[in-house]
């Protein structure tokens, strides 16, 4: 497993993070197995959000920490806030109350990282800055970041927010590459040349932000996985060939493809399966060659100019 620095945290975090969106319904034993499997595989990063399971995903982890308090110092907990029923809310009042709710459900006194969950068009940077300042000074949040934001939205935040934005969580997989496509097709009159995100990957690299990828095995916005998908026969053939070469699963290669991008990369998994968690962790020890990386990109149906 590889580990990277994350903001001001003295704790280095695993390049594979355990996404907790689907753990809301777990019983105590299953949840304990999920967490211990991740830790045994070298995964120390757990990603949450206050909307996951209506808060129940955080409660599941909270019950584990209440039972074994010593685990808290071994793990890095990130959560997100800002999505409400039918709208987004980055007001100071809501951010502060949301974090208090998150901490209560997690049964911890601090978050290692807090992300603003998707952009709020009515965002007032002054209010976000005030909320962040109060949370940091109270010791409730140690690092701040965003999710699904483009460069100008982050620049707007920075006009008032003084704490570094240390990461941006965005959707990316070998079968979902709009953030890469435009860079290959500059000044071409074709659909892949359209820059839909303001060069967010390059922006994050320039500012040394962690790029967290969600839905790393998905085709689109929760439309299913590309693994064993007949619509991605060439991609699966290439994944299996590399999996055989490296002695791992095809899913491991798909994660390794994301980690090969030369930014400060972190993959957030969505699996609750211990077996698949272990497969994901193996990607942290694989570095694909340039040729292998491009072969997978092309096999996903992309053409290079």
CATH for 29: 3.20.20.100
Tell me whether residue 5 is in a domain: no
Tell me whether residue 281 is in a domain: yes
pLDDT along the chain (305 residues), means of 10: 94 96 92 96 97 96 96 97 97 98 98 97 98 98 98 98 98 97 95 95 97 95 92 98 98 98 96 95 97 98 95
Tell me whether residue 3 is in a domain: no
pLDDT value at residue 163 = 97
pLDDT value at residue 223 = 83
Tell me how many domains the chain contains: 1
Tell me whether residue 283 is in a domain: yes
**Torsion angle (degrees, nearest 10) of CA 20, 99, 121, 217:** -10
pLDDT value at residue 89 = 98
Q: Which of 52, 203, 255, 297 is catalytic?
A: 52
Tell me whether residue 304 is in a domain: no
Other C-beta atoms closer than 10 Å to the C-beta of 273 total 12
Tell me whether residue 268 is in a domain: yes
Range list of β-strands (E), 48-198: 76-81, 83-84, 87-88, 113-117, 144-147, 165-171
Rg, the chain, Cα only: 19
pLDDT value at residue 221 = 84
- 52 annotated active-site: yes
Tell me whether residue 134 is in a domain: yes
Tell me whether residue 2 is in a domain: no
- Full residue range of the structural domain in which residue 274 is found: 11-299
pLDDT value at residue 160 = 98
Distance CA 266, CA 79 (A): 15
Other C-beta atoms closer than 10 Å to the C-beta of 249 total 20
Distance CA 9, CA 90 (A): 24
pTM for this predicted structure: 0.95
């Amino acid at each position: 497993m590889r580990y990277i620095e994350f903001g001001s945290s003295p704790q280095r975090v695993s390049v594979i993070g355990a996404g907790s969106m689907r753990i809301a319904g777990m019983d105590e034993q299953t949840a304990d197995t999920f967490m211990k499997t991740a830790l045994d595989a070298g995964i120390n990063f757990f990603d949450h959000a206050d909307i996951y399971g209506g808060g129940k995903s955080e409660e599941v982890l909270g019950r584990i920490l209440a039972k074994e308090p010593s685990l808290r110092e071994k793990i890095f907990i990130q959560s997100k806030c800002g999505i409400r029923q039918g709208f987004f809310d980055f007001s100071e009042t809501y951010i502060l109350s949301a974090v208090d709710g998150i901490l209560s459900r997690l049964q911890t006194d601090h978050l290692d990282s807090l992300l603003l969950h998707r952009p709020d068009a009515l965002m007032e940077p002054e209010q976000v800055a005030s909320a962040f300042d109060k949370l940091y000074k109270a010791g409730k949040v140690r690092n701040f970041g965003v999710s699904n934001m483009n460069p100008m939205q982050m620049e707007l935040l920075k006009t008032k927010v003084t704490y570094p934005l240390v990461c941006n969580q965005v959707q990316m997989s070998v079968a979902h590459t709009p953030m890469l496509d435009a860079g290959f097709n500059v000044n071409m009159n074709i659909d892949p040349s359209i820059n839909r995100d303001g060069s967010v990957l390059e922006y994050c690299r320039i500012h040394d932000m962690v790029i967290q990828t969600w839905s790393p095995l998905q085709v689109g916005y929760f439309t299913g996985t590309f693994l064993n998908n007949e619509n991605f026969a060439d991609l699966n053939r290439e994944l299996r060939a590399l999996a055989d070469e490296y002695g791992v699963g095809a899913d491991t290669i798909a994660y390794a493809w994301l980690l090969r991008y030369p930014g400060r990369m972190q993959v957030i998994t969505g699996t609750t399966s211990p077996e698949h968690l272990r497969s994901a962790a193996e990607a942290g020890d694989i570095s694909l060659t340039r040729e292998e990386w491009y072969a997978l990109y092309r096999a996903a149906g992309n053409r290079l100019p």
